[in-house]
Structure formats: C-alpha cells, structure tokens
Structure 1
Amino acid sequence: MGCPAKSYREFARCRSQANPCVTPLVEHLGRGPGTPSTIIVLDYSRNGPLTPTSRSVAEAELANLLNATSASAIQGRVLLVENIRPNLISLLGALLDIDPVFFAGHIATDYGDIEKAPAPPSIALFPSQIAERGYLHLHFQRVFDMGTSEDFKGAAYALKTESNTPRNIRLLPPLSGRQLALARANCSILLKQIRDSWICLILVDPPTTTIVEKGQGSGGRKGYPSEPLHGGFEDFAQRASFTSFTSTPNDPLLWNKRSMLNSLLYYFRHQPPGFSTTAQPSILSLGYYPTRVALAEWVIYIHLLSRYFKYYEYSLHDIQTRLHDSDIVDLQRWRRRCMQSRRKLRLLRAFIEHWLPHEADKQPWDLVLRDVDDVLWHLEHYSRSLEQMIPVATSMVQLHDSQHAMLETANVSRLTFIALVFVPLSWVASLFSMSDHYSPGGERFWVYFATALPVLVVVLLLSALQWGQLAEKLKGTRRLLRERVRGQKTGGRLP
C-alpha cells in the first residue's frame, strides 16, 4: 500500500502504519502553530579550540544555516531547541531527514491506557532497538516546590505543564505543610552527518512556570507557581578554588537551573567537552552533559522517595489519625512510579553499553554506569519495601475499619436497649389513652403502672434470653423425648 509523502506529517502518518508508536506525533503535528521555540546554536570550528561560539537564531534562518554547515569553516554544530513546536518539527524533520520515531519519543512520554492510544516508543520498542537507532532519550523526574499546601486544597491530582509538548505533573501528599510535585521531563539527542560535518540536535523542555489542570488550557485557570526543590540539582563539575573566587569580582558561572537549556549551555561553554576532537564526536560524547544532568535530577527523586517512605512508616505507627484509604492509593502510585523509573534507567544503561565499545575514552562512562547502577539499586530497594508495606497498610486499614464498625455496633445496641425500654411504655400509654379515667391525674392512673411495668419486665426478659442456647436446649429435650418414646415402644415388645 503506497503512501504519497508530500509533507513530513504525511510521511509520519505513513510511518505510523508500520510503527503505531508514531501516531501521537501525527496528532501533535496537526495542532496549531504553538508558542515560539528558543533556538541556540553552538559552533565548533575546524581544527580550532574546543570552546564553541554560541548565538541565538530564528526559525527562518534554520534552512540556510543547515544547508551551509559543510560549506563553511564549521566542523560541527550543536543545535539546542527549547519547547519545540509542531511547525519546527516538520521543518527539522524534512531538512535533516530525521526518523519520525525520534520526534515521537520526545513528544509521547505518557503511560496512557492501551485501549485508547498506542504505547510511546520508550515502551513499545525493546531496549536493544532503541539503542541501535542511535538517538538518546533521557527521561527523568523533576521535583518542584509549589509552596504551602493550603493553596492546593481541592486542586486536581493530575496537572500538566503549559508548553508545546505538555508534560504530566502529579501533586504529592503534603510534607510539613509544603506542597511538592513531580514533573515528567525529557531531553532528546540526535547526531547526524552532513557530508564532512556533523550536527547534533538536542531537544529540551521549557522551564516549568505555569501548570494547568489536565485536559484544559490556561484560559480561566489559575496558574500555580513552582520552583525547583532547594534550587535544583547538585553541580557535578569541578568548581574553581577559593583563590580564583577571590580574584574575580563576581562569579560568571552561575546559571538558572530551572531551565535545562541554560544548564546545558553552561556546561558546553565553561567545562571541557566530552570529546577530544571536533572531527568525529560520538553520540555518547555529545550526550555526556545531558546524561549527567538527568542523573543529578534522579538523585533528588531518590531522596524524595526516601522521605515519603518514612512518611508512610509513620502513618502505619499512627493508624488512628493518619493512615487512610488514600494512603493505600498513594503507595500503589509510588510502586508504579518505581517500575516506570527503573525501566527508564535500564534504557539509558542499555544505550550506554551498546555505544561504549566505540568510545576511545571509556573511563568517564564507566563512572556514569556506576552512578546509574547506584540509582537503580535505590529504586529496587524502595520498590521491594513498598511491595512489603502495601499489604501491611491494607490490613491495618481493614483493622481500623473493623474497630470503627464495632463501635458503631455498640452504639446500635444502646439504641436498641433504649427502644426496648420505651416501646412497652408507649404501647401501654396508647392503650389506656382511650379513656380519660386512665390519663395522668385520673382516678385509675395507677392501672397504667400496674400494667406497663410487668409488660416492660417481660419484654426485657425476652430480649435478654440467649435464643441460640434456648433453641439448642429445645432440640436436646426433643431428642430425649424421642429416645424415651422409642425405648418405651421397644420395652413393650419384650416378653
């Protein structure tokens, strides 16, 4: 069946017949133009210093810029795109002849229901298939401080970022009066050869400044402010000494960690690159800094998971006031998050192991693999602990509900006893209300007490009887009578 590929969107639609995971990209390309993207170009000259020159470019300049890459003194370019919009995806896909699966892996990061939409490439494809394609998707979680928890009463659990590629944000249970949130993030890296030059395309998400309710736009919706928890991730580069710090009036190496784009620009400009020559860098060399940033974000996620694990341990110790059915749901969510996070890190590990033999300097990536294994170990440890905590928490919630049901039963018993007291009295009162002689003050009012009290005593005695034991006694008596009758009949036949 032929597919007339007249545009990049039609090419992606044709490709979705073979790879259904491309379907979300086709739908994304059919949306509106979106907000403008930020494009930064880092140029590496031929046989020049490894420090790049950077500049900002407009989308209209991209076509001429990419066509002139090999015809200039530029050996290679790193193209950083923040908040890529659908029109720019079509433009870059057509100019660089990019596989739609690459853009689909950056756009589609939701773990949606399989009956509603196909799985994203990170789930639909095997780790070996993803590694062989030669482009890297760094999926990670970012932790945000949303402020005091009082501002989020009644807020939805599922939120989204306001960007060209909306990401999921999940509100977490408040901790010490603070409202924390988890935001799904992605950084995608692609390396292409253009004759005797190379170009590296890096797609990053914009800073999370406004979040809206899932499935709705920002119109008429309140925008919640957010900040990276404690200022963001830990810097993994070697910093200057105190002597150099005192010799400079101010530190020029500070940057806004809210933005992934600013973080990558800082490392590419001010730190030694991951490659020793600009002639032929590898995908791992160009992906070194993004990988380190993603792992630094994973470390914050591990600390957050440890804190919530302690939070639920305290909930188990204080079942009367803290543990609720919602905690069971949260524990199930954390278990699912751990499973998804472990898969993301295994994809990264499989990618590094596939391309590591082609690296001249393997030592930096050996250290990266150790860091990946350390994060994986913590995730597996907490995942096993959550597996053990969920049935315990479920049993304790059931025990709490049973105790509550017993208290309710005791209250019903008290009400039943009160009814037993007043029903005979009210019945006798209604009986004697047929004549004025038996009303209070009448000459025969004493008859009411003479009748009501014996009736009350009889009702209370009947209610106090153990009817089950009485039924057993009656059955035993009936059995004895039958045996006596049978014995008398047998004795009558004897001579």
Structure 2
Amino acid sequence: MARPPLGASHVTDDLAECSHLASGQYRGKLASLRGKYPSLKYPDLQSPVQGCGGRVVSLEFSKDNDPIRKDFTDPSKLRLYIEAKQCASSTERITRRLFLVEGLEPGLMSVVGHCFNIDPTLVVRQQRTAHWEPYHKSGNTPLLPSLLEPSRSFHVPYYELHYYPEGLPDKLDWRCADSGRQINSSRMPGTFDRVGIADRKVSYWSQKRGDGWDAILFLDPPVREVFLGVKSGRAERLSTPNEPYQGGYLDFMKFSSLDDACRTRGPTRESVLEDVCYYFFHHASCIDIQDDPMICTLFLKKIVASNYMVLIEYVKATLSTLEWSLSRQNQDISEIKIAWAEQRWSDLQSWSRRCSEYCENMESIIDSLRIPLFEADASGDWAACEKDFHLINRKLIGLKQRANALISSLTGLAGILGNRQTLKEASRSLHEAKSVKILTFLGMMFAPLFLTSGIFSMSEKYLPGGSFFWVYIAVAVPLVLLVFGAVSLINMGYGADGEWSSKEFRQTLRSQRGNVWGSFSHLPQVTIHRFAIIYVGHSFAKAPKSYRPSSGGDP
C-alpha cells in the first residue's frame, strides 16, 4: 500500500476548517496557508450567516471612461467571463475592470479568489463581524502596519444608519441576516430609538496587467432582514422594513452650477454597490481611471466618509439630548430619582464604548490608507479624502471626550442623589427612633404603675375608693421616679461610640451633679423647707388615725 504524502491528513483537516471562506481550488490555497495565518481556520462564531446569497457586478471601462456593466450570480458564468478575458489576445486584454463583490458567498468567493489570487488575510478581515473576540478559536488580529500597501489592498470599516418605522424588537442582539454584522440601537431618553447603526465593511484589492488592470471591491449587502437572539443560540429571522436615516448621506460631488447639479437625481442609498455604480455611470468623467486602479476607490472613500458624517451628527444629537436632560431646565433636581440616573449612566457608558470603537476604526482607516498625520492644504480639491478623514477623526475624539465628561457629571449627580437619599433615610430613622423613644417612655411610666397595681390588687382595701388607696399613690409615684432615675443613671455610662464604660459614667455623673446642685443653690432655703413641711403634713392628713404616731412615740 502506497504511503500518503506527508501532511495529507493535515491538508484534509484544513480543507474542512476553511469551508466557511471559499470552496474549490481557492479553498485548498487557503488551507495550505493555515500555518502562516492561523485565523483562516476559525469561522466567525458570532455570525449566524450560512450560505447566504451574493452577486458580482463587473464594470469595464473604455478609453472614454464609459463603463459597461455585467451582473453575475452564477459562479460558473463568472469563471467563464474571467477566463475568457485572460485567454484573449494581447490587444483585447488591455482592459480596465472593476469587480463589485456583494456578500461573501463561498462559490463566488472561490472563483474570484482563485482567478485573481486574493490575499487571504483580506478575505478574513472582510468576513469577520465582531469588533473583538475573546474566544480561543477565533482570530481578528490585523497585519502589522509596515505590511500595509494601500495601492494594492486595504480594509475599511464604517457604519450605516437606518430608520425603522415599525421599530426594532426590544432586544440588544440584532444582526443583519445577509452579512451577520451587528446592528446597534440606543435609548433616547430611556426608550429604545428607532434608529439602527449597522456595522459595515469594504475591502479593496487590485493588480496590474500590462497597460490594463483589475480591481475588486468587497461590499456588504443591504440590510433587508435581521436575526434576533444569535447569542442565545435560537436565532430568529425577521423582515424589518427600513430606510436611510434622515434620507442618507449628502452627495459629495462638486458642481460648477446649480443647473449642473440638477441634471442627476442622486444615488438611491439602498445599496452601496448600486451607489458606486451610480457615481461611475454619472460622474466617471470627473476622474481619470486609465492608469491607476486606486482611483476607482475614490467614490467608495467618499461614501464611507459621508456615512461617518451622518453618524457623527446622530451621536452629537444623542449626547446633546442626554446632556440637556441632566440640566435643571426641564425638571427640578429634587425630583430626579436614582433609577433615572442609573439608566442615563448606562446609556452614557454604552456611548462611551461605541465612541471608542468609532475612534479605533477611524485610526485603522488612517493607517490602512497611509494618510499623513499632518494635513496638507487641499482647499478646492473635492477629491482629497485625507482632509475628510482627519476631520472625522477629530470629531469622533471630541464626541468621546464629551461622553466621558457627561459620565463624570452624571457620577457627581448620582453622588448628590445618593447623599440626599441617605439623608432621607437618616431622617426616617431618627423619626422612628423618636417614636420608639416615646413608646419606651410610656412603657417606663406605666410599668411601675402596672406592677404596683398588680401587687395591691390582691386586697380589696387598696382598690380605688378603698381606705388604703392613698398607699398605691404614695408607692407608685416614687417607684416611677426611681425607674426613670435608674434609666438616666445607666444612660450616663454610654459614650459617643455607643459603648458603656464606668469612666464615662463617672465623668457624666460628676458633671450632671454639679449642674443639679448649682440649680438648687439658687432656690431660697425657706422655699425648700416649706415644700418639705407641706408634703409631710399632707401625707399625715391623709393617713388613718390608727397609722398616725402618738405623742408617746411608737404607733
């Protein structure tokens, strides 16, 4: 039996693991590169898309820059078209073709990748849907900046804003059903907004062929349906009618006159592929696409930058709304509840995280396109994209700082509300303590009375109206005073820390004794003697004759 070639089983395993990217011969090439690029073998765990459809549009440019459009959805027809051009004569091969690939259907990707030998890292970056992946079997690591060559290939993330008239379901896990990319929504104020921020990606690749060239733009399909509950493992596909938020991005063409601007109606903004085709069919004369394929990315860069401007205005409006809700113009600060502050804090934390992602993506765009750090003077040049991306980067950084400042302000407000709540609870506790003190006072006053009445009720002569009822009063009143005196003495031993100590008792007793004797010293001695004689005489007058002492001595 012949031995299998070395590494045959390894290649077979690689083929099985790379099936999420492509099929056929290009899949074999991807499998052989797994050792160099480990991220090729791991599919996107957060994407529910499996075998979604796609299409390819070819634009052939003549010498007059007039494009010829051809659409493909069948991989076999696309292969025949590409191979026919490659096998043509030298004069017929001098063509300038731009391929617009919408979606990452494995069959179409296999044809495009195999015929043009596409860089596999570009395909993986375009396919990934997560901003970050903490899982072991995942990979979202970019190449070193020193390896980037924007004239040949680059990768650009951006965002599209869609308005959903019927609203989105009250869940946080929404994804585009055709691309698997996440759709974020925000609360403004407190309730979920009907605006969805869809993650988008575009990638560019090109190669020159003598006097001709081939360029490819990988684009995301439009959002027609969404998946719900992807993280829970029970994804539900729903149709969600939507339209571009506020009508979509503004047109970026520079017209010489108003009549010139009125000659075209503008892009549909329903699909980035159709928008790119619109600009090539209506404004291809504004650029020179004869020699450098990089010029084909100009309209795409402008679309990306224009979408970022829509995103910036939406984020600014949202932060302004949250900032205004923190002011005292619409409500009294004493009426704000802690739950309200916690909800706004959560919203601001979400926006701070998103603004950080927006800034990171913009920095990656500047690095991928090798845009200089210092802006050159491009006044009057509508095709200069460097100034656009620098401005967008500054605005995004400003929004991030504004969100963090609002978080600090809301944290201070939450502290004020917390202190106010603590004060209310302390006041409530003090009121409850006073209520308990009153009950304790009543108990201390009536407990001796109940005890004395219980003792003297054993005989009828001590009942009210009896001959010895005065004894009850003479015993009960001093007993009440004795109980209050004992409690007062015990309380003298408690310090500020709530612990009882003999040292504290002696110091308090010494100070209280001085105050009491000082008060009595101001009274005339005659008054004291009169009070004692009246009290004793009154007691003897109420006592029966049998209990009065005789002149002889003992009763």
**What is the CA distance between 1:372 and its match in structure 2?**
1.2
Q: 1:312 to 1:197 in 2, by over 3 A?
A: same
Q: Map residues 223-242 of structure 1 onto 2, 5 A cutoff.
A: 223-239=239-255, 241=257
Correspondent of 2:78 among 56, 62, 71 = 62
Q: Tell me the secondary structure at the aligned position of residue 208 of structure 1.
A: coil
**Cα-to-partner distance string for 1:108-160 (whole Å, 9 max, x where unaligned):** 14222434454524xx3333333368312221122222347xx558x122321
**What is the CA distance between 1:459 and its match in structure 2?**
11
Q: Tell me the secondary structure at the aligned position of residue 308 of structure 2.
A: helix
Query: Which residue of 1 is the match for residue 226 of structure 2?
Result: 211
**What is the CA distance between 1:24 and its match in structure 2?**
4.4
State how far apart, in whole Å, the 2-side matches of 1:146 and 1:14 are. 44
Correspondent of 1:146 among 151, 160, 164 = 164
Q: 1:28 to 1:76 in 2, by over 3 A?
A: farther
Query: Which residue of 2 is the match for residue 414 of structure 1?
Result: 431
Q: Map residues 229-378 of structure 1 onto 2, 5 A cutoff.
A: 229-239=245-255, 241=257, 243=259, 253-272=265-284, 275-278=287-290, 280-283=291-294, 285-318=295-328, 320-321=335-336, 324-353=341-370, 367-378=384-395
Q: Map residues 130-209 of structure 1 onto 2, 5 A cutoff.
A: 130-131=148-149, 134-147=152-165, 155-163=170-178, 165-174=179-188, 178-194=193-209, 197-209=212-224
Query: Which residue of 2 is the match for residue 475 of structure 1?
Result: 504
Identity of aligned residues (%): 17
**What is the CA distance between 1:298 and its match in structure 2?**
0.8
**What is the CA distance between 1:466 and its match in structure 2?**
9.8
**What is the CA distance between 1:84 and its match in structure 2?**
2.5
Correspondent of 2:118 among 94, 98, 113 = 98
**Cα-to-partner distance string for 1:419-448 (whole Å, 9 max, x where unaligned):** 44446768979x97999x99xxxx77x99x
**What is the CA distance between 1:182 and its match in structure 2?**
1.7
- AA at the equivalent of 1:49: D
- AA at the equivalent of 1:17: G
State how far apart, in whole Å, the 2-side matches of 1:205 and 1:453 are. 89
**Cα-to-partner distance string for 1:187-245 (whole Å, 9 max, x where unaligned):** 11111335664222112112223233251689656544432210100000135855568
**What is the CA distance between 1:69 and its match in structure 2?**
2.2
Correspondent of 1:391 among 408, 412, 418 = 408
State how far apart, in whole Å, the 2-side matches of 1:378 and 1:321 are. 31
Contact between 1:109 and 1:120, CA under 8 Å: does it hold in 2? no
Residues paired across the two proteins, number: 456
Q: Tell me the secondary structure at the aligned position of residue 327 of structure 1.
A: helix
The alignment yields a C-alpha RMSD, in angstroms, of 4.5
Flag the structure with larger Rg. 2
- AA at the equivalent of 2:105: R
1:20 pairs with 2:38: yes
Structure 2, unpaired ranges of 5+: 1-5, 16-24, 373-377, 458-462, 511-555
- AA at the equivalent of 1:120: N
Contact between 1:32 and 1:86, CA under 8 Å: does it hold in 2? no
Query: Which residue of 1 is the match for residue 97 of structure 2?
Result: 77
**What is the CA distance between 1:264 and its match in structure 2?**
0.7
**Cα-to-partner distance string for 1:346-391 (whole Å, 9 max, x where unaligned):** 3332343379xxxxx9995873111111111112222233333333
Contact between 1:233 and 1:300, CA under 8 Å: does it hold in 2? yes
Q: Tell me the secondary structure at the aligned position of residue 203 of structure 1.
A: strand
Structure 1, unpaired ranges of 5+: 356-360, 482-495
TM-score for both structures, normalised by structure 2 = 0.69
- AA at the equivalent of 1:370: K
Q: Tell me the secondary structure at the aligned position of residue 263 of structure 1.
A: helix
Q: Tell me the secondary structure at the aligned position of residue 369 of structure 2.
A: helix
Q: 1:206 to 1:432 in 2, by over 3 A?
A: farther
Per mean C-alpha deviation after superposition, the further-off stretch among 386-395 and 288-297 is 386-395
- AA at the equivalent of 1:141: Y
**Cα-to-partner distance string for 1:280-326 (whole Å, 9 max, x where unaligned):** 3232x111111000000111111122223323322432565385223
**What is the CA distance between 1:52 and its match in structure 2?**
0.2
